[in-house]
């Protein structure tokens, strides 16, 4: 285990082995800056770079896009250099008190902002358990999966403009919906839901017409964030045929502020579910690209007590990140640094691991009982939805922090 001269509390998400990347606004500052989290502190990477201690020139902007575009060798070298500077044995930064005071901030004193200029956003549908549950609820339990699902990573193009960072409020959307035995109407969504997801940001851009092969996909994956793909189920159910999600999904997507790198998560790679039938050759890989990341979702009513409604794991995903990116680009779709790809709802095999309220309450027929005596079929106004994630093995804990959002009434 590595040790830093900066104190790291027990069970912290952010030990020196993690060092996730984010963008923050220091107290009194007018422009955000790139940073990394260690313990309860945020380290200003722009300032560290300007002092010549990093040997890079990628943190000068107000986003991480330039660093993402630099590629895996720069990512790995930069992370190793940060670990060296923060280690308890290294005096370069440790013994420079004035520099430490100018570049280290308590996390609770800074404002986190979106870490990247997100040009494009794709949301996949890669949990077999989730797809089976939804298919059972809306179609035929005996034929829950659509014919294509076991052959390719299904996805849709989401709305990048409404991606927000953790802590941003989410206004209840309005739109059309149709009762089973009624006519279409318009108004605030009555079936507002969360979706527990993990997303990855892409790195080096590709040219239009160029495919990313599955064995090179990891070179284009910068790191992971937690994602809450807010969903208005009643609006979605009425609109999604024939072209898929639209207003039921485009009003908000929340992400956690810290991007956890593939290097930090390397110890937690694991085998994914057996894929049957065997994928087509362009989706085949002998490497293990699932990750053992424990996930949970809590609902906290306004002025109330948080209640955990889901505990799941990223390792349940049927289609892995490299398969997702290889399929996304196989037809020649180009990617850019800072594109976001989300996993789709992550559900496990048991009810307690279902990653959305429509599954947890089985479309509202089995409500969740809250500590204050109320019940939830879906998300109520004033509720905050809080998602957390971490990986832990042999005494090493790598965490994401959390992504939270409070639901405000429709206007």
Query: Cα–chain-centroid distance for residue 46?
Result: 24
| CA 254/CA 349 separation, integer angstroms | 25
The answer to whether residues 106 and 6 touch, using CB atoms and an 8 Å cutoff, is no
| CA 297/CA 312 separation, integer angstroms | 9
Kindly state the average pLDDT of the residues 119-144.
Answer: 94
Residue 199 Cα distances to 123, 170, 253, 361, 410, angstroms: 8, 19, 11, 25, 27
Q: Which fold has domain 121-408?
A: Fumarylacetoacetate hydrolase; domain 2 (3.90.850)
Residue-averaged pLDDT of the chain: 97
Kindly state the average pLDDT of the residues 362-370.
Answer: 97
Angle (CA) 257-260-261 rounded to 5° is 140
Quote the pTM value. Answer: 0.97
Task: Decide if domain 21-113 falls under CATH 2.30.30.230.
Answer: yes
Query: How is the chain split into domains, by residue range?
Result: 21-113, 121-408
The answer to whether residues 266 and 177 touch, using CB atoms and an 8 Å cutoff, is no
The answer to whether residues 394 and 154 touch, using CB atoms and an 8 Å cutoff, is no
Kindly state the average pLDDT of the residues 160-176.
Answer: 98
Residue count (the chain): 411
Kindly state the average pLDDT of the residues 26-42.
Answer: 97
Catalytic residue among 108, 130, 328, 390: 130
Kindly state the average pLDDT of the residues 298-323.
Answer: 98
Question: Looking at residue 139, what is its pLDDT?
Answer: 86
Cα(first)–Cα(last) distance of the chain, in Å?
51
The verdict on whether 327 is a catalytic residue reads no
Kindly state the average pLDDT of the residues 48-55.
Answer: 95
Kindly state the average pLDDT of the residues 35-59.
Answer: 97
The fraction of the chain above a pLDDT of 90, given in percent, is 98
Maximum alpha-carbon separation in the chain: 72
Q: Model confidence over 329-354: pLDDT tens digits?
A: 999 999 999 999 999 999 999 999 99
């Amino acid at each position: 285990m590595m040790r830093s001269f900066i104190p790291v509390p027990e069970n912290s998400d952010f030990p020196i082995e993690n060092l996730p990347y984010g963008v923050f606004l220091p107290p009194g500052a007018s422009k955000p800056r790139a940073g990394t989290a260690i313990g309860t502190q945020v380290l200003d990477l722009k300032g560290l770079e300007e002092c010549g201690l990093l040997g890079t020139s990628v943190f000068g902007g107000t986003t991480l896009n330039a660093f993402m575009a630099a590629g895996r060798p720069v990512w790995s070298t930069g992370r190793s250099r940060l670990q060296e500077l923060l280690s308890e044995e290294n005096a370069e930064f440790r013994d420079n008190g004035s520099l430490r005071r100018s570049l280290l901030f308590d996390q609770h004193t800074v404002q986190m902002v979106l870490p990247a200029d997100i040009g494009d956003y794709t949301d996949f549908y890669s949990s077999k358990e989730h797809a089976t549950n939804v298919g059972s609820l809306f179609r035929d339990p005996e034929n829950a999966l659509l014919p294509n699902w076991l052959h390719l990573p299904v996805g849709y193009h989401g709305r990048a403009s409404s991606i927000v960072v953790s802590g941003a409020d989410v206004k209840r959307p309005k739109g059309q919906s149709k009762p089973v035995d009624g006519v279409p109407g318009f108004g605030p969504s009555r079936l507002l839901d969360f979706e527990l997801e993990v997303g990855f940001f892409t790195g080096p851009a590709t040219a239009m017409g160029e495919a990313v092969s599955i064995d090179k996909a990891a070179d284009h994956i910068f790191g992971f964030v937690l994602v809450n793909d807010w969903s208005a189920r009643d609006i979605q159910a009425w609109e999604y045929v024939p072209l898929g999600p639209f207003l039921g999904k485009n009003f908000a997507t929340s992400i956690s502020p810290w991007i956890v790198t593939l290097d930090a998560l390397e110890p937690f790679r694991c085998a994914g579910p057996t894929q049957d039938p065997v994928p087509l050759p362009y989706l085949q890989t002998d490497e293990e690209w699932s990750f053992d990341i424990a996930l949970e979702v809590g609902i906290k009513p306004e002025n109330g007590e948080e209640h955990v409604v889901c505990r799941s794991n990223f390792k349940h995903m049927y289609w892995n990140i490299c398969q997702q990116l290889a399929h996304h680009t196989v037809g020649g779709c180009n990617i850019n640094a800072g594109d976001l790809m989300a996993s789709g709802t992550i559900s496990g095999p048991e009810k307690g691991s279902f990653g959305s309220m429509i599954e947890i309450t089985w479309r509202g027929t089995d409500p969740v009982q809250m500590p204050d005596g109320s019940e939830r079929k879906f998300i109520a106004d004033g509720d905050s939805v809080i998602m957390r994630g971490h990986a832990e093995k042999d005494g090493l804990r790598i965490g994401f922090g959390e992504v939270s959002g409070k639901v405000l009434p429709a206007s």
